[in-house]
Each structure stands twice: as C-alpha cells, then as structure tokens.
Amino acid sequence: MKKSLLVTVISGIIVGLGCLGISLAMAGDPGVTKTTIKIGSNMILTGSAAYWGQGSDKGARAYYTYINEMGGIHGRKIEFINSDSQFKPAQAVAAIKKLIEKDEIFILMGMQSSVCILAAEKVFGEAGVPLIAPITMHRQLVDPPRKYLFVVFTEYWDQAQYMVDYMAKEARWKNLKFAVIYQDDDFGKEGLAGLEDGVKKYPSMQVVAKESFAPGAKDFSSQVLKCKQSGAQGLFLSCVTAQAAMMIKEAEKIGWKPLFMVHSATADDKLIELAGPATEGALGVTNVVIPSSEKDSPPVKKATEIIHKYYPDQAIDVPTIDGIAMAMITVEGLKKAGPDLTRVKLIEALENMKNFETGLVPPVTFGPNNRQGCRGALLYQIQGGKFVRLK
C-alpha cells in the first residue's frame, strides 16, 4: 500500500510539473496578451534635442493609433510606452530597466541617441528584449550584428562617405578643403571618421581642421574661429540641430561663409528656422525624406494624413517622419511574425524582410547577419530657403 501510494504521489507530481511546464510555455514572452502588445521606447523628450524626440514620439503614436483603429495586429492592440532619456546615457539605462522590469514590454523600438542605446544595451540585451528601428545609427550598433538589434538607418559614417563621393564628382567641390566640428562622443566621432575616410580616397580633397565640443555646449566661438583660420572652404558639422545652428550663426557673425555640411541628425527644416539665411547653400545628407521638399509625394501625403488625424497641429518634419517610418517597419515585422507572437518569431520575420517599402526611407532589408536595414542615402541642398533634393 505504501509503495503504491508513493508511486501515485510521484506520478501526480510529475504530471503536475508537466502541466506547469506547458502553462509556462503557453504563457509566452512578457508584453503580449490575447488583446495587447506592449512596445516601449526611450526618446529625447526634454533638453537641447527635445525637438527630435517629441516629433518622433508623435509620428510613432499616430501610426500605432491608426493601426489599432483598423483592428490592430492579428487582433492585438498596441500599447506604446515612451520614456525620456534627456540625451543622458544614465537616464536611458534607468528608463530601459523600468520598461523591462516594471512595465514588462514585449519589445523596444525607436530609441534615440546611439550613446544612450549603447549604454542601455547591457540591460535589454541580457534580458533578450529586441530593439527594432532605433531612430539613430552608429557602426557599433550593427558591427558585430546582434540577434536582438535591428537598425534601419544608414550609419553616419556611410552618410559622410556618400556626401564626399557625390562632391568629388562635382567640379565646384572636388578640390574642397574641409574643417570639421564634432560632438566629442561616439555619435559625433562617427560622422568625423566617415568624412575623414571619404576624403582619403580623393587626393584633391583634404581635412585641414578638426575641433570638438562637449555635449550640451553652447559657445562655439573658439571652434568656428579656428576652422576659419585653417583656410577651410567647407565646414562639416557632426552634431544635432541646435548646436549646428549656433555654429552657423557664429560663422556668420565673424564674416565666414563656408559650405556648411550636415548629416541626418541635423538635416531638417529646423536648421533653417534657427539659423536663417546663413544656411543658404548648405548640404544635408540623410536617409529619410525631408517632407517639406517632397510634400506632394504619395507616401508623404499619406503620412501627413495619418499624423494630422491624431495630432492636427503637429509639424510634418523629419523627426515626425522618422517616428512614423520606424513604426511602419515595426508593425510590418509584427504582422509577419504571425498570430502566435513571440520574440523568436519576430526576429525570424525581420530577418526575412526584403526590400520593404515605406516610401519615407530607402527600401529596408535585413538578414541573419545583416542588422543595417538601409544602405542608401539622400542628398539635399538648401536653395532659396528650403531643402531641394540633389540625388
């Protein structure tokens, strides 16, 4: 009797553990229920670069609301939880920990600032939480490729290369002497490295001055003066919009009119608004359309319609287009992952994304060893007070 009873008890425990295992397996990943998907983000919502975060937040929120009103993704509505990094890595780390541990998000998307992302990667990487379509780019984010990290935008390094290659083919620019002012961190140095590597390919071009500044700086008189004294005819600014505008105004104040060049962190109408006519002739390389230049294109018209449905007063600018484009790519991945949604299936779906068209960024392609979705870039010049696409 005792032996029989013991066997029965043990058998019951084994069955119970088996059922528990099945229940845990069926529970799936955090952030997904029968009716919802929790998506977290961390953007620059306050501080010197808040313009970018606030616009991107509205663009993403508008698209998620639009998808929810159409029934969601396989019957699930998106719950979007954003947080503020203040452009500070320590703040980003704390925010990501909260999103994962307290809010129990399924994935991250659209984070901003490569410096903040790299600081927070240990948190979301170890937790196995994928980051989809951050609104920034840096070689360290894609090389080496990580299973959980999918970057859409062309790297700042590649953008600078693209711009130099274009300029080298133009008689008016092929003998240019460059000066560079860059933010003294991984973000600013990435643009600097791309420009320097690009110029090395062309003997007639050279970098004659390099000046750095600390993040958050507001006085650039010394850097601009030194660049002018170097004899440079072009000034490449590897920084965000507010700082670039201050530098351009400083150059204007001392009577220096170089060819200003900026990458996608700065190439937006806000630059013209802040620095005025001094921006005339400036070159901007980016991998998202500048909507004021392409407002009649069907993709920009559709994006504008969606954004203004929920945020009628929101300016249709580059940050807003960034936000909606990244949300579109994230939604496409979630759809392709199917109704039985897990992080593993989402990663597989993204790895099979080929030439996905948003009309707002170049076609997006990922693969098992490819975590940079876009390779192309767009070049604009400010002509008559507005950006005009050159290529």
pLDDT tens for each residue of 279-291: 999 999 998 999 9
Full-model pTM: 0.81
Residue with tokens 């005025």: 276
Sketch the domain layout of the chain as residue ranges: 36-154+296-376, 157-286
- Each residue's pLDDT tens digit, 140-160: 899 999 999 999 999 899 999
- Please state the rounded mean pLDDT for residues 156-182: 96
Who has greater pLDDT, 124 or 20?
Answer: 124
Percent of the chain scoring above 90 in pLDDT? 85
Q: How far is the C-alpha of 25 from the C-alpha of 19, rounded, in Å?
A: 10
CATH superfamily for domain 36-154+296-376: Response regulator (3.40.50.2300)
- Each residue's pLDDT tens digit, 255-265: 999 999 999 98
- Each residue's pLDDT tens digit, 236-247: 999 999 999 999
- Asked if domains 36-154+296-376 and 157-286 share a fold, the reply is yes
Q: Tell me what pLDDT residue 391 has.
A: 66
CATH superfamily for domain 157-286: Response regulator (3.40.50.2300)
Q: How far is the C-alpha of 213 from the C-alpha of 194, rounded, in Å?
A: 18
Whether 348 has a pLDDT exceeding 80, the answer reads: yes
Q: Tell me what pLDDT residue 22 has.
A: 32
Q: How far is the C-alpha of 322 from the C-alpha of 162, rounded, in Å?
A: 20
- Please state the rounded mean pLDDT for residues 263-276: 94
Q: Tell me what pLDDT residue 49 has.
A: 83
- Average of per-residue pLDDT values in the chain: 92
Whether 6 has a pLDDT exceeding 60, the answer reads: no
